[in-house]
Amino acid sequence: MIILGIETSCDETALALIETRKTGGVFECRVIDSLVHSQAELHSAYGGVYPNLAKREHKKNLPILFSKLFSDLSVLKVDAIAVTEGPGLEPALWVGIEFARELGEKWRVPVIPVNHMEGHIVGSLLESDAPRGSWQKLKEFELPAIALLISGGHTELVKISEGRTSRGLVSGGEASGWSYQILGQTLDDACGEAFDKTARLLGLPYPGGPHISRLATQAEEEGIQPPVKLPRPMIGSGDFNFSFSGLKTAVLYAVRKAQEEDSFTETYKKGLALEFELAVTEVLEKKTRETIEEVGARALIIGGGVSANRRIRERFEKLTEKSSIPLFLPSRHISGDNALMIALAGALRGAPAERNILRAQGTKKL
C-alpha cells in the first residue's frame, strides 16, 4: 500500500511517500521519500509564524514539492492520502486539507485525517527516515507508556495505553489499538514558544531553539556561569502541567536590567542562554519523571521540534536509564514538522469509513 502524507500545520510545507505491508501480521514500512520546505527565513522578520504568510507559502510550495516528489519515480499508484487535520494554524491547515481533498477526488482514493501530535508519537518509533529505504518494523515497547510532546505550539504529557480510540497502531510489533490521555499540558506558552521568545529578547533569529542551544553550549565550553537564577515554573506544583510565560518574563527583566547596567554583552547572553536551557530542562525532566512513576510507565517517547535539543536528549537518556525503561527519540528530520510521520500515522490508523470528511480544527487536542 502506498500512502502520500501531507503536512501544513505551521510553517513547514511537507510531502512524503511511504509503502506499507503486513508480514506475518506485523506492520512494516518503507520510506520512499520525504520532502520539507521551511519558511523559517520568511517568518524570522516577525519573530514567529505569521499565519497568512504561512498560508500563502503553502499554496505556492505544495505543487512544487508534489512535482519534485513524483518527478523521478516510476509509475506509482497511491492508495491513500494522509493529511494533518490539526492541531495547528487554521489557515495553514486548510491549504493542506484542500490539496488532499482535490487529489483524493482526482485519484479516487481515501483521505485519512491525522492528528499532528499523534504523528509526533508514531514518528519517534521509526528506525530510519532514509529515502529509498529498506523495509523496517517500528520500534517495539510495552504499555502503558508516556509521551512527552515538546514543540513550538505544544507541551504535553500523554499516557498511552490499550484502547479502541486509535485503531491500527502498533505495540510490540503487532497491530493493536491505543488510547490517549493527556495528563498534563502547558497553561500558557509552549516549550518551543518560550525558546523563540527568549531568543528574540537576546537578539537571536527565529526559530530560536538552535541559537539558544548554541550559546548555552558555548557558555559551558568557555566556563561562563549564569549571570542570574531563573525560576523553574510549576516545578513543585504537584500536578503534570507546565507554564513557561513566567520564565520568559524573568528573562525579559534580566535583559532589561543588564542593558540598564551596560552589561548586556555576548558573555552575558551566553550565560543567560545556559540558565534558560537548564531551567526548561529541569522542569521537563521533573514533571516527566513524576508522570512515569505515577503511571508505572514501561517506556518514554519524546516527540516534537524541541526534542532535537542536545541537553534535553542527554538528560532524558540519563532519566530513562535510571528508571530502567526504554527511551524513543526521533531523528532530527522527524523531530520537526514533516509529512513522513503523518503518512505513517495515517497508514497505521487506516482509512475512514467515509471519504473526504475532513474539518480544519486549529485548536484540536490529541
* 366 residues of the chain, pLDDT tens digit each: 999 999 999 888 999 999 999 888 889 999 999 999 887 676 666 666 767 787 898 999 999 999 999 986 765 789 999 999 999 989 999 999 999 999 999 999 999 999 999 999 999 999 999 999 899 999 999 999 999 999 988 999 999 997 644 433 333 333 346 889 999 999 999 999 999 999 999 999 988 899 999 999 999 999 999 999 999 999 999 999 999 999 999 999 999 999 999 999 999 999 999 999 999 999 999 999 999 999 999 999 999 999 999 999 999 999 999 999 999 999 988 999 999 999 999 998 875 433 333 333 333 344
Confidence at residue 10, expressed as pLDDT on a 0 to 100 scale: 85
Confidence at residue 43, expressed as pLDDT on a 0 to 100 scale: 63
Quick one: CATH architecture of 191-325?
A: 2-Layer Sandwich (3.30)
Distances in Å between the Cα of 252 and the Cα atoms of 151, 198, 228, 311, 355 are 21, 8, 12, 23, 49
Domain boundaries, the chain: 2-139+332-349, 191-325
Handedness of CA 72, 346, 41, 272 (dihedral sign): negative
Confidence at residue 11, expressed as pLDDT on a 0 to 100 scale: 84
Confidence at residue 359, expressed as pLDDT on a 0 to 100 scale: 32
Confidence at residue 251, expressed as pLDDT on a 0 to 100 scale: 97
Supply the CATH classification number for the domain 2-139+332-349: 3.30.420.40
Confidence at residue 50, expressed as pLDDT on a 0 to 100 scale: 61
CB atoms within 10 A of CB 48: 15
Cα–Cα distance, 313 to 299 (Å, whole number) = 15
**Rounded to the nearest 5 degrees, what angle is found at the Cα of 189, between the Cα atoms of 294 and 98?**
100
3-state secondary structure at position 157: strand
Q: What are phi and psi of 69, to 5 degrees?
A: -65, -40
Confidence at residue 143, expressed as pLDDT on a 0 to 100 scale: 93
- Segment (H or E) for 119: helix 116-123
Contact 49, 43 (CB under 8 A): yes
Cα–Cα distance, 319 to 315 (Å, whole number) = 6
Q: What is the grid cell recorded at 244?
A: 513557561
Residue 88 burial by Cβ neighbours in a 10 Å radius (0-12, 13-18, 19+): buried
